[in-house]
Amino acid sequence: MVLDFLMNWLAAIPGFVVPFALAALGLLLIEKAGVLSLGAEGFMLVGALAGIGAILGLGASPLAALLCAALAATLLSLLYAVLVVSLRVNQVIAGLSLVFLAQGLTGLIGTGAGWVNRPVDGLRPVPVPLLGDLPLIGQVVFRQDTVVYLTVPAFALVAWLLARTMVGLRLRAVGDGPDAADTAGIGVSATRYGAIAAGAALVGIAGGYLSVGIARIWVEGMTGGRGWIAIAIVIFARWRPWSALAGALLFGAIEALIPRIAAAGIQVPQYFIAMIPYLATLAVMVWTCLRGGGGSMEPRALGRAHLREDR
């Protein structure tokens, strides 16, 4: 009984981790270039709707739907980039407005196109031959869908990109000291545009995975604050990719546990259970603050617009 519960829980975790992980990874990329990204929830929503829309409207396969999700979020992110990079709008106001814009837009399009509450065929688990037959590990790790398998390589890629390549060095330079980067001949605006577009694509896939991979349905406002939790994960991870994956694991584990608490016969009012992810996020943020700032990789110019003529 306990083992069954544990196995079910563990096997569900990877699916719940993916949205947090990919969203946090995308946000990290944006923020490393010095751009605050409070619009995460908006990118996720747009990705979630685009994924379902691609399946229902275009008959796309689930993986193609995720590409559409990435594309849609990137399109929206270009608007954000124009606002905060070129027009230097306050990044808090722009980010918040973007979330509400996306909430309104997805609500309008989802209802207008009649995509609400229509179940779709989502991603299917792809068991890895041989490894999938292993006891325990096989069920938990090797009987997942393609996106789960690709998440860890995505982290490796971004971590390598940031730490070991010229592109990453420029990106970090722009995030840490845009003035100095500008003097060194790095195009600050172009780098930030690129980081925003690439990061938003990842966040969009995270949103698309929510609708296409997990829920297999579109409901208005279905991201339910996961974008904000992803922002908290980035802060908790101190802008380090692998720590962000650890944070995503924690929240994925919590979220996978929630539907299983009531099923296990534990009597807690359901709305109190629904509060757990948000309270856990708060607790993690408090812990991050108490731990102090040592070793943080926070971009020093985070949230600061750059203009050469300002100097």
CB of 20 to other proteins, least distance (A): 14
Which of 225, 250, 302, 304 touches other proteins by CB under 8 A? 225
- Any contact of residue 298 with other proteins (CB under 8 A)? no
Contact 107, 220 (CB under 8 A): yes
Site membership for other proteins, residue 78 (CB under 8 A): no
Q: Is 285 in the site for other proteins (CB under 8 A)?
A: yes
Q: Is 279 in the site for other proteins (CB under 8 A)?
A: yes
Nearest approach, Cβ of residue 202 and other proteins (Å): 20
Instruction: Name residue 116's beta-bridge partners.
Output: 218
**Region of 118-126, 127-135, 229-237, 255-263 interacting with other proteins (CB under 8 A):** 229-237
Tokens of 136: 């325990």
User: Toward other proteins, which CB reaches closer, 5 or 272?
Assistant: 272
| Sites for other proteins among residues 82-121 (CB under 8 A) | 83, 85-90, 92-94, 96-98, 100-101, 103-108, 111-112
Asked if residue 281 binds other proteins (CB under 8 A), the reply is yes
Binding of other proteins at residue 235 (CB under 8 A)?
A: yes
Q: Which residues contact 83 (CB under 8 A, 6 or more apart)?
A: 89, 94
Amino acid occupying residue 272:
F
What is the C-alpha radius of gyration for the chain, rounded to an integer number of angstroms? 20
Residue 120 has φ and ψ, to the nearest 5°, of -125, 165
What DSSP string describes 103-169? HHHHHHHHHHHT-BT---------PPTTGGGSTTHHHHHSSS-HHHHHHHHHHHHHHHHHHHSHHHH
Among positions 201-220, residues that touch other proteins (CB under 8 A) are: 220
Q: Which two tokens stand for residue 82?
A: 């124009």
DSSP 186: -
**Which C-beta is closer to other proteins: that of 78 or that of 184?**
184
The 3 state secondary structure assigned to 28-49 is HHHHHCCCCCCCHHHHHHHHHH
Counting contacts by CB under 8 A, is residue 228 touching other proteins? yes
Give yes or no for a contact between 31 and 299, defined as CB atoms under 8 angstroms apart: yes
User: Quick one: which segment of 63-71, 149-157, 210-218, 275-283 binds other proteins (CB under 8 A)?
Assistant: 275-283
Residue 284 main-chain phi, psi, to 5 deg: -65, -40
Q: Are 119 and 216 in contact (CB under 8 A)?
A: yes
Select from 159, 275, 207 the least CA-distant residue to 18: 207
The phi and psi torsions of 116 (rounded to 5 degrees) equal -75, 135
Among 217, 278, 297, 304, binds other proteins (CB under 8 A): 278
Judged by CB under 8 A, which stretch of 9-17, 134-142, 251-259, 273-281 contacts other proteins? 273-281
38 binds other proteins (CB under 8 A): yes
User: What is the C-alpha separation between 126 and 142, in angstroms, rounded?
Assistant: 8
Q: Considering the rule CB under 8 A, would residue 9 count as an interface residue with other proteins? A: no
Between residues 22 and 171, which has the closer beta carbon with respect to other proteins? 171
Site for other proteins, rule CB under 8 A: 38, 83, 85-90, 92-94, 96-98, 100-101, 103-108, 111-112, 166, 170, 182, 184-190, 220, 224-225, 228-229, 231-232, 235, 269, 271-272, 274-275, 278-279, 281-282, 285-286, 289-290, 307-310
